[in-house]
Chain A
Amino acid sequence: MSTWEYAPAPESRDIANLRPSYRPFIGGEFVDGSGEPLKTINPATEEVLAEVGTASVSDVDTAVKAARRAYERTWRTMPGAERAKYLFRIARLIQERSRELAVLETLDNGKPIKESRDADVPTAAAHFFYHAGWADKLGYAGYGPDPKPLGVAGQVIPWNFPLLMLAWKIAPALATGNTVVLKPAETTPLSALVFAEICQQAGLPPGVVNIVPGAGDIGAALVDHPGVDKVAFTGSTEVGKQIQRAVAGTPKKLTLELGGKAANVVFDDAPLDQAVEGIVNGIFYNQGHVCCAGSRLLAQESVVDELLEKLRHRVSTLRLGDPLDKNTDIGAVNSAEQLARIRDLAETGDAEGAQRWTSPCPVPERGFFFPPTVFSGVEQSMRIAREEIFGPVLSVLTFRTPDEAVAKANNTPYGLSAGIWTEKGSRILWAASKLRAGVVWANTFNRFDPAAPFGGYQESGFGREGGRTGLEAYLDV
Chain B
Amino acid sequence: MSDARVTVAKTYKLYLGGAFPRSESGRTYPVTDAKGRFLANAAHASRKDLRDAVVAARKAFGGWSGATAYNRGQVLYRVAEMLEGRREQFASEVAASEGLPAKKAQSLVDAAVDRWVWYAGWTDKVATVLGAANPVAGPYFSFTVPEPTGVVGVLAPQRSSLLGLVSVLAPVLATGCTAVVVSSAERPLPAITLSEVLATSDVPAGVVNVLTGKASELGPWLASHADVNAIDPTGAGPVGRVELAREAAGTVKRVLAVPEEEPDWTAQPDIARLRQYLEPKTVWHPMGV
Name A residues whose Cβ lies closer than 8 Å to a Cβ of B.
Answer: 126, 142, 144, 237, 240-242, 244-245, 247-249, 253, 256, 258, 413, 428, 432-433, 437-444, 447, 449, 451-455, 457-462, 464, 467-469, 472, 477
At the interface, yes or no: B229 with Cβ under 8 Å from chain A? Answer: yes
Indicate with 1 or 0, residue by residue over B185-214, a CB within 8 angstroms of chain A CB atoms: 000000000000000000000000000000
A451 cross-chain contacts in B, Cβ below 8 A: 134-137, 142
Contact residues, B130-173 vs A (CB, 8 A)? 130, 132, 134-138, 140, 142, 144, 147, 149-150
Chain B residues in 8 Å Cβ range of A449: 134, 136-138, 142
Cβ-neighbour of A440 out of B246, B250, B284 (below 8 A): B284
15 pairs, CB–CB < 8 Å, chain A vs chain B: A240-B252, A241-B249, A248-B242, A248-B245, A258-B252, A413-B226, A413-B251, A439-B281, A443-B286, A444-B284, A447-B136, A451-B136, A467-B134, A469-B132, A472-B275
B72 to chain A, nearest CB (A): 15
A-B contact count (CB 8 A): 114
B-side interface mostly: mixed
Contact A439 B285 (CB under 8 A): no
User: What chain A residues lie within 8 Å of B241 (beta carbons)?
Assistant: 249
The residues of B that contact A144 with a CB separation of less than 8 Å are 270
C-alpha spacing A202/B103, complex, angstroms: 63
Nearest residue, chain B, Cβ from A126: B137
A434's nearest neighbour on chain B, judged by CB, is: B66
The answer to whether B8 has its CB under 8 Å from any CB of chain A is no
Q: A253-B257, A440-B284 are in contact. Are A452 and B252 (CB under 8 A)?
A: no
B183 CB, min distance to chain A CBs, angstroms: 24
Which residue from A248, A413, A453, A461 sits with its C-beta under 8 Å from B280? A453
- List residues of chain B with CB within 8 A of the CB of A460: 252
Residues of B216-243 at the interface with A, using a CB-CB cut-off of 8 Å, are 226, 229, 241-242
- B19 at the A interface (CB under 8 A): no
- On whether the beta carbons of B280 and A438 are closer than 8 Å, the reply is yes
Residue from the list B137, B144, B249 in contact with A453, Cβ < 8 A:
B144
Asked whether any CB of chain A lies closer than 8 Å to the CB of B109, the reply is no
Taking A248-B249, A440-B282, A447-B284 as contacts, is the C-beta distance between A462 and B272 under 8 angstroms?
A: no
- Chain B residues, Cβ within 8 Å of A443: 285-286
How far apart are the CA atoms of A240 and B249 in the complex, in Å?
A: 8
Quick one: given A453-B144, A459-B251, are A428 and B285 in contact (CB under 8 Å)?
A: yes
Give the shortest distance, in Å, between B114 (CB) and chain A (any CB): 22
The answer to whether B140 and A447 touch across the interface, beta carbons within 8 angstroms, is: yes
User: Complex Cα distance A248/B256, Å?
Assistant: 11
Question: Are A438 and B140 interface neighbours, CB within 8 A?
Answer: no
Task: Give the distance to chain A from B243, nearest Cβ to Cβ, in Å.
Answer: 8
Q: From B223, which residue of chain A is reached at the shortest CB distance?
A: A248
Query: B56 near A: Cβ within 8 Å?
Result: no
B252 in complex: contacting residue of A432, A442, A462, CB < 8 Å: A462
- Report yes or no: B246 in contact with A452, Cβ–Cβ below 8 A: no
Query: Across the interface, do B132 and A467 meet the contact criterion of CB distance under 8 Å?
Result: yes
Asked if B215 is at the interface of the complex by the 8 Å CB criterion, the answer is no
B residues in contact with A477, CB < 8 Å: 272
A444 in contact with B249 (CB, 8 Å): no
Residues of A within 8 A of B150 (CB): 458
B281 touches A437 (CB 8 A): yes
Contacts of B252 in A (CB 8 A): 237, 240-241, 244, 256, 258, 458-462
Among B136, B229, B284, chain A packs the most CB atoms within 10 A around the CB of: B284
Do A441 and B144 have beta carbons less than 8 Å apart?
no
Alpha-carbon gap, A461 to B279, bound state (A): 11
A94 vs B203: C-alpha distance in the bound complex, in angstroms? 54
Task: Tell me, rounded to whole Å, the shortest Cβ–Cβ distance linking A313 to chain B.
Answer: 23
B67: Cβ under 8 A from any A Cβ:
no
B248 at the binding interface (Cβ < 8 Å): yes
Q: Which 7 A-B pairs have the closest CB atoms?
A: A249-B242, A248-B245, A244-B249, A449-B136, A245-B249, A452-B134, A248-B246
Interface residues of B (CB under 8 A from A): 129-130, 132, 134-138, 140, 142, 144, 147, 149-150, 226, 229, 241-242, 245-246, 248-252, 254-255, 257, 270, 272, 275, 279-286
Whole-angstrom CA separation of A418 from B214 in the bound complex = 40
8 further contact pairs, Cβ within 8 A, besides A249-B241, A447-B136, A449-B134 = A144-B270, A241-B249, A428-B285, A440-B283, A441-B283, A458-B229, A464-B280, A469-B144
For A425, give the chain B residue with the smallest CB separation.
B285
Chain A residues with CB below 8 A from B279, complex form: 438, 457
User: What are the residues of chain A within 8 A of B257 when measuring CB–CB?
Assistant: 253
Chain B residue contacts of A454, Cβ below 8 A: 282
* Alpha-carbon distance A126/B255, docked complex (angstroms): 32
What B residues does A455 contact at CB under 8 A? 280
The closest CB in chain B to the CB of A451 belongs to: B134
Most buried by A among B136, B242, B251: B136
Is there contact, CB below 8 Å, between B132 and A468?
yes
Bound-state Cα–Cα, A240 to B286, Å: 33
Give the complex CA separation of A465 and B282 in angstroms.
11
Which A residues lie within 8 Å of B270 (CB)? 144
B138 touching A249, Cβ below 8 Å:
no
CB pair B246–A249 under 8 Å, yes or no, is yes
Residues of B within 8 A of A244 (CB): 245, 248-249, 252
In Å, the complex CA distance between A163 and B223 comes to 36
Question: A469 to nearest B CB, angstroms?
Answer: 5
Asked whether A245 lies within 8 Å of B246 as measured between CB atoms, the reply is: yes
Q: Which of B144, B149, B283, B284 contacts A467 (CB 8 A)?
A: B144
Assembled-state Cα–Cα distance A413/B241 (Å): 24
CB distance from A251 to the nearest CB of B (A): 8
A428 and B130 CA atoms in complex are apart in Å by 22
Closest to B254 in A: A462
Shortest Cβ gap from A252 to chain B (Å)? 10
Report the minimal beta-carbon distance from A407 to chain B, rounded to whole angstroms: 11
Residue of A nearest to B288 (CB): A443
Closest residue of chain A to B285 (Cβ to Cβ) is A442
Q: Which residue of B lies closest to A440 (CB)?
A: B283
Measured CA separation A469–B140 after assembly (Å): 19
Cα distance A237–B282 in the bound complex, in angstroms: 21
Instruction: Determine the distance from Cα of A228 to Cα of B149 in the docked complex, in whole angstroms.
Output: 28
Inter-chain contacts of A447 with B (CB < 8 A):
136, 138, 140, 142, 284
Q: A428–B141 Cα gap in the complex (Å)?
A: 13
Q: How far is the CA of A233 from the CA of B142 in the complex (A)?
A: 25
Task: Chain B residues near A469: list those with CB within 8 A.
Answer: 130, 132, 144, 280
Residues of B within 8 A of A258 (CB): 252
Q: List chain B residues, Cβ under 8 A from A142.
A: 129-130
Say whether, besides A438-B279, A449-B138, A452-B144, A248 and B132 are in contact (CB < 8 Å).
no
